[in-house]
Amino acid sequence: MKIGVPKEIKPAEKRVAITPSGIRVLTEHNHQVLIEKGAGLGAGFTDEVYLMAGAELVDTPEQVWEESEMVLKVKEPIGPEFKWMKPGQIIFTYLHLAADRELTDRLLKRRVIGIGYETVQLRDGTLPLLAPMSEVAGALSVQMGAYCLEARNGGMGILLSGVPGVRPARITIIGGGVAGMAAAIVASGIGARVSILDIHHARLGYIRDVMSGRVVTINSNPANIEEECLNSDLVICTVLIPGAKAPKLISRSLVKRMKLGSAIVDISIDQGGCAETSRPTTLDDPIYTEEGVVHYCVTNMPGAVPRTSTIALTNATFAYVLALADKGWKKAMAENAALRLGLNVYDGKIMCKAVADTFGLECFEPDL
């Protein structure tokens, strides 16, 4: 198959959809990979490394789109990319169509085969192509919390780890899923005193077992959230209710009573955020102070570490990329129910129930 990888054009997006090692395997399987010049530079992969892996360098994005049967991307198509999409072309990327009617209409109109990373779903309900970015955001949240707590950024001027004779910071993590667990591992590793709250008892039991005493697990309810927030230096929010907006678990009045110069890192901001005082920020201008508490609410945290994020993302996507290339999309989906759930649009029709329900449109089944 002829596979194309354009450079991402969304502002500040430096990730790329494939690493040189992925290209090596694809070319060993007799696929042809076209990559736009400079596509990997933001993630630290030079054109030379891609060439050595067997890719063909292409000067313009138009050429990549024009010549490829399958286009691999990180973010959804935007701007000029709409006019380059071709009927019957596979586009494998994050789509998040339920949040974007215009994009949905454009994909339908161009009759592409749109496969969204975010809706690929395993039998146990987990989302294998979303999880790596939650892991990155969770681990990064501790680093960003440390930054917020520095005095020059409005924080109370404490070091998360403490030093001999000075107590470490107290960190509360609300939500013990993928991001929450990643945050707990980093926070406890650095020596902070960590509590983690979740509504699912079994999840708390799992966390207690694997973290063997390094974090305190607490049932999530309003009273416990209040107590933990009031006593914490850093609160990290990682709650997710699939398909819904994040619940507002931290009221403005609670933020007002938190320690002066404490911090909230609201990872759930991409679903609206868990604190009433949270509002989306950008990688270029990530923090603000409200009610005396420093807030970090960046909606695309993995973009801060594009190399790690690229490798983590492509580790997860590659098996699906290879299956699509080797077998064609119909056979690959017929053999893999998780990948089938990734199909969002095909031949001008919606194939994903959640997207169809969101827009009140009919959902179709592909003939696999």
Ligand X SMILES: NC(=O)c1ccc[n+]([C@@H]2O[C@H](COP(=O)([O-])OP(=O)(O)OC[C@H]3O[C@@H](n4cnc5c(N)ncnc54)[C@H](O)[C@@H]3O)[C@@H](O)[C@H]2O)c1
Residues found near ligand X in the complex (CB under 6 A): 131, 133-134, 137, 174-180, 197-200, 203, 220, 238-241, 246-247, 249, 267-271, 298-302
In the complex, what is the shortest distance from the CB of residue 128 to ligand X, in angstroms, rounded to a whole number?
11
Q: What's phi and psi for 215, nearest 5 deg?
A: -135, 155
Of the pair 156, 313, the CB lying nearest ligand X is at 313
In the complex, what is the shortest distance from the CB of residue 297 to ligand X, in angstroms, rounded to a whole number?
8
Among candidate residues 31, 96, 233, 295, the one labeled active-site is 96
In the complex, what is the shortest distance from the CB of residue 168 to ligand X, in angstroms, rounded to a whole number?
23
Closest CA to 131 of 178, 96, 87, 99: 178
Q: Assign 3-state DSSP to the chain and report helix, strand, coil percentages, each to 5.
A: 40, 20, 40
Joined together, the tokens standing for residue 287 give 């923090």
At residue 258's C-alpha, the angle toward residues 255 and 263, to 5°, is 80
Give, as one character, the DSSP assignment of residue 168: P
Residue 201 a catalytic site member: no
Among candidate residues 198, 233, 270, 295, the one labeled active-site is 270
Of the pair 89, 300, the CB lying nearest ligand X is at 300
Query: Within a 10 A sphere around the Cβ of 221, how many other Cβ atoms?
Result: 11
Of the pair 220, 232, the CB lying nearest ligand X is at 220
Which residue type occupies 141? S
Query: Within a 10 A sphere around the Cβ of 91, how many other Cβ atoms?
Result: 26
In the complex, what is the shortest distance from the CB of residue 256 to ligand X, in angstroms, rounded to a whole number?
21
Residue 357 a catalytic site member: no
Helix (H, G, I), strand (E, B) or coil at 172: strand
- CA 322 to chain CA centroid, Å, is 21
Of the pair 162, 247, the CB lying nearest ligand X is at 247
In the complex, what is the shortest distance from the CB of residue 116 to ligand X, in angstroms, rounded to a whole number?
14
Of the pair 123, 152, the CB lying nearest ligand X is at 123
Tracing tokens 């933001």 back to the chain, one arrives at 42
Q: Which residue has the closest beta carbon to ligand X?
A: 177
Residues annotated as catalytic (active site), given as ranges:
96, 270
